Amino acid sequence: MAAPHPLLEIESLNIGFASYGQTTQVLHDVHLKVEAGQRAAVIGESGSGKSVTMKAVIGTLPHPAARVLGGSIRFDGQELLSLSRRERERLKGTDISIVHQDPLTSFNPVFTIGEHLDDVLKFADRRLGTSSDARSRRTRIEATLRQAQLKEPERVLRSYPFQLSGGMRQRVLIAMALMHRPKLLIADEPGTALDVTTQDEILRLLNQLVSEEQLTLLMVTHNLAVVRQTSDYVYVMQSGRIVEHGPVREIFTAPRMPYTQRLLEAIPPLYGPKVQHRQAHSETVVITANDVVKRFEAPRRFLEPAKAPVLAVRNASLSICKGDVFGIAGESGSGKSTIARMIVGLMPLSGGTIEIDGRSIADWRKDPAFRRRIQIVYQNPASSLNPRRTVAETLAVPLAFAGAVPKDKRAERIRELLALVELPANFASRYPHQLSGGQKQRVAIARALAVDPEIVVLDEPTSSLDVSVQKTVIDLLLGLRDRLGLTYLFISHDLSLMRNFCNRIAVMFRGEICEQGPTDTVFDDPQHPYTRALIASIPVLTDAEEQAKPQVTLEERRAVLASTIQ
């Protein structure tokens, strides 16, 4: 590097959060160095301190809760922590910019996109001492939006945040960060909140802009595959410490620290020798769905013309055998959760039939006995468990209503259930807030198993968990399937996970099942263009996997993803 000093250099940074008079240290001696022109990444799971580190750099640590306990952050040779407030503000958006994570919540819903961008630009100009008129700002904003591949900048600027798609809002966030050609661009989990095909678009755009504009990138993410795609150098964070750092290739092929190794192993491979192949257990069909349709009628309101109904599921047919781990893959709004809900009998069909063990569930679903046949585990245990009920109280509900277990037997059954999901028996008296995310999801699984069901529907059971926790929950589910002879219907958007967990898979696209078959067949030889585009979008860990992915031409992508690509 030609520069005498790194662009960003963090040394021995210690930060604590004060609450109720106590200070909890969240960053411990964090060291980090980003050279000009480098593409670096900080990776860590939730609570690792990666966001706090970024906020310290950008200068948005919560005041007065956050305390810098020591250390230094030097930007372009200048110590940031001793700068005056005014000097610090001057760097924001012009020298250091950030691409925020969640494109929906990052905009104020009652202001247009244009208003946001104009204020950001106006005050940045003012801090730099150059005044600008509204017209010239408008021209610059539109040019930057075009650079972020937004084709109709005028329309985007006029729109309110809710009128744009997630992908478009994310592009606006990128444009916002680029308006002043920042020396350092921080990207905080860009696209993570979006569908995988959109995320892929966003990462490509970011890569392209970084190389075109010669930007220095600091990527913050929890996804190792994203690191491989966007960075050359990586810092691994765990519980507020940098545990390992090095060039991406080195860390990925020969991680030295056990934590990094665990993290890498926890990521399910998409292709290659490490993929786990699940076999079908039998050919006895337990669930059949024939031409299932679900129409959501918009509520008819007085005096208003009727709105067109939404077809959430159109003519979906599938059959699931005993012992299957049957996956339904799809992006948000594809109708996968709606199908799951209809199969569990929580929602009536608008057309078609669903049979379980050859019996139609149309009337049966109201019978308590039906509940003993099929149960569901929801996505987010933080909201599916009642925060005011102990684990034992939560588990007692199905025992009392659907399971018909007499009162004096319940305590014993609760102990059994906790043992089944590998939780200590004394957890029975705990409240959800005393449990970790993974433990909560185990309780939710135990609740589903309380009535000894034969079929369990898993609606994204691990998507709210960190990847290392996800692995333990998946292992638990596989063990339970073998021990109890369960059949799983697994709903997910995470294709890498499904590749290793399911023996059959159906891909949903805009309410239709566009492809289904044995998992290996679908992944090795995807037929439908959407399936191909979907698989091709998944970030992977190795070049070998990258090559094994189906090749998708731009025209093919455009054909199926017309709504997300500008």
With contacts defined by CB under 8 A, name the span among 58-66, 277-285, 387-395, 470-478 that binds another protein: 58-66
CB of 176 to another protein, least distance (A): 7
Subset of 127-146 contacting another protein (CB under 8 A): 127
- In terms of Cβ atoms closer than 10 Å to its own Cβ (0-12, 13-18, 19+), residue 565 is middle
Smallest distance, another protein to C-beta of residue 488, A = 35
> Would you count residue 493 as binding another protein (CB under 8 A)?
no
Per CB under 8 A, does 78 bind another protein?
no
Given the rule CB under 8 A, which of 53-61, 387-395, 477-485, 508-516 is the region that contacts another protein?
A: 53-61
Q: How many helices (H) and strands (E) does the chain have?
A: 23, 20
Nearest CA among 450, 455, 500, 451 for reference residue 474: 500
**Residue placing its CB nearer to another protein in the complex, 116 or 336:** 116
> Could you say which of 48, 53, 97, 470 contacts another protein (CB under 8 A)?
97
d(CA 525, CA 519): 10
Rg (CA), the chain: 26
Cα–Cα distance measured from residue 439 to residue 432, given in angstroms and rounded to the nearest whole number? 9
Question: Does 120 participate in binding another protein (rule CB under 8 A)?
Answer: yes
- How many Cβ atoms from other residues are within 10 Å of residue 465's Cβ? 22
Instruction: Write down the least CB distance from residue 172 to another protein, Å.
Output: 11
Amino acid residing at 414: I
The sign of the dihedral angle between the CA atoms of 481, 484, 485, 491 is: negative
Helix (H, G, I), strand (E, B) or coil at 107: coil
Binding segment for another protein (CB under 8 A), chosen from 66-74, 111-119, 322-330, 555-563, is 111-119
Of 181 and 359, the one with the shorter C-beta distance to another protein is: 181
β-strand pairing of 487-492 with 455-459: parallel
Under the binding rule (CB under 8 A), the answer on residue 17 touching another protein is no
Residue range at the interface with another protein (CB under 8 A); choices 71-79, 113-121, 242-250, 322-330: 113-121
Is residue 110 within the footprint of another protein (CB under 8 A)?
A: yes
Beta strands in 153-284 (DSSP E): 184-188, 216-221, 233-238, 241-247
In degrees and rounded to multiples of 5, residue 366 shows phi and psi of: -90, -5
- Interface with another protein (CB under 8 A), residue from 33, 90, 415, 510: 90
Residue 304 within binding range of another protein, rule CB under 8 A: yes
Token pair 């595959």 in the structure block, residue:
225
Binding-site member from 39, 92, 245, 532 for another protein (CB under 8 A): 92
Q: Which of 24, 302, 308, 563 touches another protein (CB under 8 A)?
A: 302
Nearer to another protein by C-beta: 117 or 342? 117
Q: Segment contacting another protein (CB under 8 A): 54-62, 202-210, 323-331, 396-404?
A: 54-62
Give the Å distances, CA to CA, from 240 to 24, 187, 243, 434: 11, 19, 9, 21
Stretch that binds another protein, among 197-205, 298-306, 507-515, 530-538 (CB under 8 A): 298-306
Number of residues that bind another protein (CB under 8 A): 35
Compute the distance between CA of residue 264 and CA of residue 267 in angstroms, rounded to an integer: 6
To the nearest whole angstrom, how small is the minimum distance from the Cβ of residue 462 to another protein?
Answer: 24
Question: Which residues contact residue 451 at a Cβ distance below 8 angstroms, ignoring those fewer than 6 apart?
Answer: 371, 372, 375, 398, 399, 402, 403
Nearest CA among 230, 229, 227 for reference residue 244: 227
Q: Which is nearer to another protein, 112 or 390 (CB)?
A: 112
The 3-state DSSP composition of the chain as helix, strand, coil percent (nearest 5) reads 40, 25, 35
Q: Closest Cα partner for 10 from 185, 241, 198?
A: 241
| Omega before 268 within 30 of 0, i.e. cis | no
- Token pair for residue 552? 């998708």
Residues numbered 337 to 396 that lie near another protein (CB under 8 A) are none
Which range of residues in 33-41, 86-94, 443-451, 482-490 is near another protein by CB under 8 A?
86-94
Residue 92 pairs in a beta bridge with 96
Comparing CB distances to another protein, the nearer of 119 and 525 is 119
Largest CA distance in the chain: 78
- Interface stretch with another protein, choices 123-131, 220-228, 289-297, 474-482 (CB under 8 A): 123-131
- Listed ranges 122-130, 339-347, 469-477, 554-562: which one lies at the site for another protein (CB under 8 A): 122-130
Residue of 13, 26, 52, 124 that binds another protein (CB under 8 A): 124
- Residue 282 token pair: 């039998």
Taking CB under 8 A as the criterion, which residues in 143-162 touch another protein?
160, 162
Interface residue with another protein, options 42, 141, 176, 339 (CB under 8 A)? 176
First to last CA, the chain: 37
We find the least distance from the C-beta atom of residue 464 to another protein, in angstroms, to be 18
Question: Pick from 49, 71, 93, 191: which binds another protein (CB under 8 A)?
Answer: 93
Q: How far apart are CA 10 and CA 29, in angstroms?
A: 9
Check residue 169 for interaction with another protein (CB under 8 A): no
Q: Does 439 bind another protein (CB under 8 A)?
A: no
Q: How far apart are CA 563 and CA 165, in angstroms?
A: 9
Give contact residues for another protein (rule: CB under 8 A): 58-60, 89-94, 97-98, 100, 102, 105-111, 116, 119-120, 123-124, 127, 160, 162-163, 173, 176, 301-304
